[in-house]
Amino acid sequence: MPQIRLITFDLDNTLWDVHSVIINAEATMRAWLAEHVPVYGQQIDTQQVQQLRSSAVNENPALAHDVSALRKAVLQRAFVVCGYKEKAAHALSQQAFNVFFEARQQVVFFPGALTMLEELAGEFHLGALTNGNADINAVGLGQYFSFAFSSADVGVSKPAPDMFHAALRHAGVDAADTIHVGDNLVDDIAGAGQLGIHTIWTNHAAVSPGERDHAPTAIVSHLEELPAAVELIRSR
Ligand SMILES: [Mg+2]
């Protein structure tokens, strides 16, 4: 029987819907830009943002794993296009990013998320593993998690093993005594599964997983079901 001691969680789309969060954060930043840098809205369109993003990643591939640094780099390049000097563009990109970042932490948890985390935190070490830039303290989950790693921290995104290894090393727990919970069958389930970590797929949309090399150990469609799924894995 596995001695489950550590449970790691993906964040975006596992504990909240990220699409609506990003839409809202981008709208908040655009409103700030309209007020403080009106030329931005006149000169920069979505297509241009895409191009600036591509060229930023081409010149510095590490940005692909650091969504915060990438967003700042794109803003800075856009401000240069708008006619700002490098230094002013840099300062402005930091300010605009801060507006985005604060709004990006305003998440609406899926039903049952907080009670589930509270219950599990009483018995297990909990860690957060994200390819994004949600901040566990800023979203209000700091009291449940004992650590968090992002792709920006480790330099590469899930499903690469680095973030999972960082979590196991940090907690001092073996893969066989760990469960990873996430919504993405590749990044989360295959990524953790290939290391021998037990996995729980949060299948909020109740879709078929199809044929997979790394099938999840357990599947839940509501977060309320997670403690029971953990018990099931523990009792195997
Ligand atoms: Mg996710």
pLDDT digits (tens, 9 = 90+) for 3-60: 999 999 999 999 999 999 999 999 999 999 999 999 999 999 999 999 999 999 999 9
Question: Which residues have beta carbons under 5 A from ligand 1 (an ion)?
Answer: 10, 12-13, 183-184
Distances (CA, A) of 65 to 57, 108, 155, 159, 189: 10, 25, 6, 12, 19
Going from the Cα of 87 to the center of ligand 1, the distance in angstroms, rounded, reads 35
* 19-104 CATH pick, 3.30.360.10, 1.10.760.10, 1.20.120.1600, 3.30.1340.10: 1.20.120.1600
User: What is the CATH topology of the domain spanning 6-16+107-234?
Assistant: Rossmann fold (3.40.50)
Going from the Cα of 94 to the center of ligand 1, the distance in angstroms, rounded, reads 26
Whether the per-residue pLDDT at 205 is higher than 90: the answer is: no
pLDDT of residue 2: 80
Distance from C-alpha of 96 to C-alpha of 75, rounded to nearest angstrom: 8
pLDDT of residue 236: 83
- What are the contacts of 191-196 at 24+ separation with CB within 8 A? 191/158, 191/159, 191/160, 191/161, 191/164, 192/8, 192/164, 193/217, 194/159, 194/161, 195/161, 195/164, 195/165, 195/168
Q: Kindly give, in sequence order, each residue whose CB lies less than 8 Å from that of residue 72, ignoring residues fewer than 6 positions away.
A: 93, 94, 97
Share of the chain above pLDDT 70, in %: 100
Distances (CA, A) of 13 to 27, 47, 129, 170: 20, 26, 12, 24
Confidence of residue 212 (pLDDT cuts 50, 70, 90): confident
Going from the Cα of 149 to the center of ligand 1, the distance in angstroms, rounded, reads 14
Q: Where in the chain is the domain with CATH 3.40.50.1000?
A: 6-16+107-234
User: What integer best gives the mean pLDDT of the chain?
Assistant: 96
pLDDT of residue 20: 96
Secondary structure of residue 209 in the 3-state scheme: coil
Going from the Cα of 222 to the center of ligand 1, the distance in angstroms, rounded, reads 15
Distance from C-alpha of 2 to C-alpha of 135, rounded to nearest angstrom: 30
Residue 92 sits at the vertex; the CA angle it makes with 89 and 93, to the nearest 5 degrees, is 85
Whether the per-residue pLDDT at 210 is higher than 80: the answer is: no
Going from the Cα of 184 to the center of ligand 1, the distance in angstroms, rounded, reads 6
Going from the Cα of 11 to the center of ligand 1, the distance in angstroms, rounded, reads 6
Going from the Cα of 206 to the center of ligand 1, the distance in angstroms, rounded, reads 15
pLDDT of residue 33: 97
> How confident is the model over 160-198, as pLDDT tens digits?
999 999 999 999 999 999 999 999 999 999 999 999 999
Going from the Cα of 229 to the center of ligand 1, the distance in angstroms, rounded, reads 19
Q: Where in the chain is the domain with CATH 1.20.120.1600?
A: 19-104
Whether the per-residue pLDDT at 144 is higher than 90: the answer is: yes
